[in-house]
Structure 1
């Protein structure tokens, strides 16, 4: 057989294998769809992003694989309270038993001496085996499948289009999104944005089927209007709330740098995937959420705030 024939045969075999893989992968998604997936072409334009300054803090992509089924923001002191697995960047010691003192004494994956904890539920390929099939947060709570590590993580602080900011207070805790959105009837706490890296500014509340090698994105926008007194509250939400539709903070609150965390994944084409959730929430994409505990050094937070205020 000539080298040209062998080369042509190799290419044809590779193309056939790719076609089978794509077709089989699509079948896998369709078999497990339940209305959770949406083609990339159906992503919709999100609200226009305000033209404000921003500061990015590099924190890595959780290369150390810091994972646990705890939620130190909403259930401190309770092991495995989340009933699903969380992924972390920043503080390397964060778990259910974390205190301000233990977090301060820890190390971090972030630059600028930022010991803050940034967390969100893991993403899994649901057609593959997982190491935690019998463990709390994993298979024992109905979250089956291979955990997919993030390809990219961006931690960004943004300015305000409507006035001066005050620094985020040290030890402030906050959440975004509703981990029990299904149970709660997809109420106002549900804030989910899924997208594809090659279609900027377009989002969905479902799992997007990105194509062309694009990353699957999860974008978490945190509240930024602080009550000026508390670093936590009984609801873990009332002490810091979201801006109004016009970008202005409600009365008797103070604008702080707005935290936005974007997480990107390389999801193999056609493979079914889902986030971890409470068993009652059925791994619904609208239950996506994220947590934050601020341990940025006060001097660094003041510097970030000053930059976002235009140096004023």
Structure 2
């Protein structure tokens, strides 16, 4: 949702590490592939640390099967995608049961295992077997034992959900299994998920040095802020044909008819919110909500309040979409219908290997970027989410089975590796006017958070962004030529 070299950190990030290996299943049998991975900051403020009084079970952690499947035969991909969506649905249902049975958990130490985790494993095993059948039916090869090994899930405590994110902070200080895990809906965020940005040490690294072969131009496309409230909880990249496949709400700008049932043919025919009518690309991201006790239109809907995504939806006050070049080479035009996902919506259980979240405040963006915490901005400063997408393409595929291996980040020097080609790097900057949350007695009041899968507890690191390239009137070549010629275009 193989690459063996370090990726180039985006201009807003700090360093790179190797990710854990990923299991690949398909026509080539069992292989292993390393993903580029982002190491992310831990702040040195020492502020807002709280101590959990008990090891409350916070959430369910299941292997992310979709990221392990890197080689699914084309004829099996739709069936596999549907089954992967079933796995997500099973986890959200299990989490809902976990959240609604806190009292029973205090009375029976084996309740979670017997009533939730055990039955979930059985459901997942049956779904994984259907994935095996889908792949084998079209001639693909599957390590059945390796696939079934992904069925079992575990639980995470409040301590693990924060320490595991890399910020070294404990849970929300709520004792007893009957307590919520923070947030207006009881599934986060907690006080440890926020930090006063003025107390964080600068952590933004210098950009890679540009050389004479670099492409220094920029191309800005103006597509609005989704003021018309074009929302849905689908994800056509990961779960095509599945309603509510994302289990959280997205903002959409650019292409106006993106949903689970959109196709390449329908996307090229649809309308766009972009000023440049040749840009029919789909740009979409999870909404941000303010958790001050208010509700929004989806408070009783799937993907909304029914799945722990609550509060007033905030529309960005600014949304900048800009394509930039490579410091070391010219760029190749993006292929039509290229799909890219940046970041990871499941970092609470997956870890930070594919995280690419960047949170900051206006006036601090060149100094501090946060991945594992939301910033509390000073008076007069606004919250900023920034994304810098993968900028290297394998030159052949517009998507891949796990939606990652066909694109990559450049290495630390700005070079594409393993035969990948530099393409215009999509960057996005979203600005929100938010009254600063208040931390008091180990609790957070008036929190804000990005929408996500309910079991991910609204952690800052789960932020992600999605893109489908759809261009008319030769716009893809226009963008590449502008960047290669060092011009600033729009």
- Same structural fold, with TM-score higher than 0.5 when normalized by the shorter chain: yes
Aligned to 2:202: 44
Say which of 382, 386, 403 aligns to 1:215.
382
**CA deviation profile, 1:186-217 (whole Å, cap 9, x unmatched):** 2x211110011111312111110112322211
Alignment of 1:72 with 2:239, yes or no, is no
Q: Distance in 1 between matches of 2:324 and 2:382?
A: 23
CA contact under 8 A between 1:87 and 1:120: conserved in structure 2?
A: yes
State the Cα distance separating 1:298 from its structure 2 match: 5.9
Q: Which has the higher contact order (CA 8 A, sep 6+)?
A: 1
State the Cα distance separating 1:32 from its structure 2 match: 6.0
Aligned to 1:22: none
Alignment of 1:87 with 2:251, yes or no, is yes
**3-state SS of paired residue (2:319):** strand
Alignment of 1:172 with 2:330, yes or no, is no
Q: Distance in 1 between matches of 2:466 and 2:412?
A: 23
State the Cα distance separating 1:43 from its structure 2 match: 5.9
Change in CA separation of 1:174 and 1:43 when aligned onto 2, cut-off 3 Å: farther
Aligned counterparts, 1:1-312, within 5 A: 33-41=190-198, 42=200, 44-49=202-207, 52-112=216-276, 113-127=278-292, 128-186=294-352, 188-201=353-366, 202-205=368-371, 206-270=373-437, 271-297=446-472, 299-310=474-485
CA contact under 8 A between 1:165 and 1:255: conserved in structure 2?
A: yes
**CA deviation profile, 1:88-147 (whole Å, cap 9, x unmatched):** 110010111110111111100112220000011000011222221110110111111111
Q: Distance in 2 between matches of 1:174 and 1:142?
A: 27
Q: Distance in 2 between matches of 1:49 and 1:199?
A: 17
**3-state SS of paired residue (1:183):** helix
CA contact under 8 A between 2:189 and 2:459: conserved in structure 1?
A: no
CA contact under 8 A between 2:238 and 2:403: conserved in structure 1?
A: yes
**CA deviation profile, 1:239-294 (whole Å, cap 9, x unmatched):** 11111111100121100000001111000233310111101100101000000000
Q: Distance in 2 between matches of 1:32 and 1:234?
A: 31
CA contact under 8 A between 1:222 and 1:258: conserved in structure 2?
A: yes
State the Cα distance separating 1:53 from its structure 2 match: 2.5
Change in CA separation of 1:60 and 1:230 when aligned onto 2, cut-off 3 Å: same
Aligned-CA RMSD value: 1.9
- The number of aligned residues is 283
CA contact under 8 A between 1:170 and 1:298: conserved in structure 2?
A: no
**3-state SS of paired residue (2:195):** strand
CA contact under 8 A between 1:207 and 1:285: conserved in structure 2?
A: yes
Change in CA separation of 1:311 and 1:246 when aligned onto 2, cut-off 3 Å: closer
State the Cα distance separating 1:296 from its structure 2 match: 2.1
CA contact under 8 A between 1:90 and 1:110: conserved in structure 2?
A: yes
Task: Structure 1 unaligned segments of length 5 or more: list them.
Answer: 1-27
TM-score, length-scaled by structure 2: 0.56
**CA deviation profile, 1:27-75 (whole Å, cap 9, x unmatched):** x99x963310011211633232456332111011111111111111111
CA contact under 8 A between 1:43 and 1:204: conserved in structure 2?
A: no
Which of 149-158 and 192-201 deviates more?
192-201
**3-state SS of paired residue (2:320):** strand
Change in CA separation of 1:299 and 1:208 when aligned onto 2, cut-off 3 Å: same
Higher helix share: 2
State the Cα distance separating 1:297 from its structure 2 match: 2.3
State the Cα distance separating 1:311 from its structure 2 match: 6.1
Q: Distance in 2 between matches of 1:183 and 1:246?
A: 31
